[in-house]
Amino acid sequence: MFRLVKFLVLSVAFALGETVYPPPDALRLVEKALSHHPALAAAHLSADAAHANGKHHAAWEAPEIGVEFYQAPVSSFPNPLKDQREIDYSVSQVIPFPGKLSAMSQSEHFRGAAEESRAGAVALDLRRQILSAYADLHMVEWRLRLLREDRAEVERLLRAARTGYEGGMGSQSDLLRVESEAAKLDADALQLESERFATLSALASLAGGEVSIPFVDNLAPPAINPSPDRLKALALQRRPDLEAIRYETGMAGADAKARDKDAYPDLMLRGAYKDMLLGDMLDGTRRGYWSVMASVKVPIAPWSWGGVRSGVTEARTLQRKSEQDYAAMRLSVNAEVDRAVAMLTSAQERMELEQNRRIPLAEQSLRSSLAAYQGGRSDFNGVLMAFRELRMAREDYHMAVADHLKAWADLEYASGGSIIGPALED
């Protein structure tokens, strides 16, 4: 049993020297995900599609080329060229009012920039999810490792209880308690193996392929004192989803300008060549004539003006909505930063508490209980209680380490990037 206490001291000791944090293995998974994950690729494709649509809107409509047959005798049906008196060849082109297409194109390019920022938000969220899953895996691995150590110690206790019972120095209840504790540890091991498989599957899904991660003894989380106000200021500059809403606000403004230009007329030009037969079919001669037509779209007609103004109203309303979305997102970001800072601080304090107070006290309690039991001053139930308390203290320490990495990942996401640096400390 005292070997277990020695292992405990070795397992929780760590130094906060020059370390890489988050862990390199987790960062390699992040890099793999950013290269292969289909959700991120889809987000980038959405941005490319929006920019392509912007180029589409910047181009004029295709011209129309027509051939019209006039005054064909019924006897020539269905051949329009037989005894045809007139054939008109025409080309028409709609010329939009200057600035209208560029305004429509600008709106789509704003949308493309917003989609690019959304892709950045997807990448940042992938990083957070991978670091959180890695923290879960680290916790499960440590619980399995600690459980195996505990199981070995329980097996030694079981042998000692059997020897004492057979020698008339123990009781059957002591033996049953140890056997019950061993069965519970075996059940916990099965559950942890299932959790480990599920966590590895989640990591493989996030990383975009199969993963193989060596066991890391200690994540060595650094102690920092983050400043919520400075992180909030950084978040306003760096959060890609906030940037996306800013672009969407610009997109709504550009769309409103484009809708304003719907009130200006478009011009349509049409040129035609008329190939005509003069006289009757026998002695007539064919002559050619040309003509030009110009027409203007009149959006200010009473029956169309309401629709034009409604489109402008819709665009302006969407612009104001984007501004309110941005204000709401800022409030949400501030809350996310506050929550992540609180969780990070809590995890750091819990690590210190478990390492410096709870675990040493549990070690002393276990030693005292063992000595009292061996001296006949207490029953075996006290030993088991002290053993469970020590096991829980060890697990709680490593749970705090995992929670620290999760809170770190959340704080990186909330602030839009790395949180390492003197500028972030009070």
Higher pLDDT, 263 or 193: 193
Instruction: Using the predicted structure, report yes or no on whether residue 108 has a pLDDT greater than 50.
Output: yes
Residue range 377-410, pLDDT digits in tens = 777 777 778 888 888 999 899 999 999 999 999 9
Determine the Cα–Cα distance for residues 163 and 158; give it in Å rounded to an integer: 9
Give the model's pLDDT for residue 360: 92
Q: Which two tokens stand for residue 106?
A: 């600008």
Q: Which two tokens stand for residue 297?
A: 């779209």
Q: What angle do CA 215, 142, 366 make, to 5 degrees?
A: 140
Sign for the pseudo-dihedral over CA of 47, 114, 241, 28 = positive
Residue range 292-311, pLDDT digits in tens = 888 877 666 665 656 667 77
Q: 0.85 exceeded by the pTM? A: no
Mean pLDDT confidence for 170-176: 70
Residue range 133-158, pLDDT digits in tens = 999 999 999 989 888 888 887 777 77
Instruction: Using the predicted structure, report yes or no on whether residue 167 has a pLDDT greater than 70.
Output: no
Give the model's pLDDT for residue 308: 63
Contact 215, 23 (CB under 8 A): no
Instruction: Using the predicted structure, report yes or no on whether residue 206 has a pLDDT greater than 90.
Output: no
Q: pLDDT category, 130, cuts 50, 70, 90?
A: very high
Give the model's pLDDT for residue 358: 93
Q: pLDDT category, 283, cuts 50, 70, 90?
A: low
Residue range 67-100, pLDDT digits in tens = 887 777 777 777 767 777 778 888 988 888 777 7
Q: pLDDT category, 7, cuts 50, 70, 90?
A: very low
Determine the Cα–Cα distance for residues 257 and 162; give it in Å rounded to an integer: 88
Instruction: Using the predicted structure, report yes or no on whether residue 420 has a pLDDT greater than 50.
Output: yes
Burial (0-12, 13-18, 19+ Cβ within 10 Å), 300: exposed
Q: How far is CA 70 from CA 91, 103, 220, 273, 425, in A?
A: 17, 42, 88, 13, 85
Determine the Cα–Cα distance for residues 242 and 246; give it in Å rounded to an integer: 6
Q: pLDDT category, 131, cuts 50, 70, 90?
A: very high
- SS3 per-residue string spanning the chain: CHHHHHHHHHHHCCCCCCCCCCCHHHHHHHHHHHHHCHHHHHHHHHHHHHHHHHHHHHCCCCCEEEEEEECCCHHHCCCCCCCCCEEEEEEEEEECCCCHHHHHHHHHHHHHHHHHHHHHHHHHHHHHHHHHHHHHHHHHHHHHHHHHHHHHHHHHHHHHHHHHHHCCCCCHHHHHHHHHHHHHHHHHHHHHHHHHHHHHHHHHHHHCCCCCCCCCCCCCCCCCCECHHHHHHHHHHHCHHHHHHHHHHHHHHHHHHHHHHHHCCCEEEEEEEEEEEECCCCCCEEEEEEEEEEEECCCCCHHHHHHHHHHHHHHHHHHHHHHHHHHHHHHHHHHHHHHHHHHHHHHHHHHHHHHHHHHHHHHHHHHHHHHHHHCCCCCHHHHHHHHHHHHHHHHHHHHHHHHHHHHHHHHHHHHCCCCCCHHHEC
Give the model's pLDDT for residue 183: 87
**pLDDT over 90 percentage in the chain:** 25
Sign for the pseudo-dihedral over CA of 394, 395, 398, 403 = negative
Instruction: Using the predicted structure, report yes or no on whether residue 11 has a pLDDT greater than 70.
Output: no
Mean pLDDT confidence for 321-350: 93
Instruction: Using the predicted structure, report yes or no on whether residue 40 has a pLDDT greater than 50.
Output: yes
Residues 6+ apart with CB under 8 A from 136: 195, 199, 202, 402
Q: Write down the mean pLDDT value for the chain.
A: 80
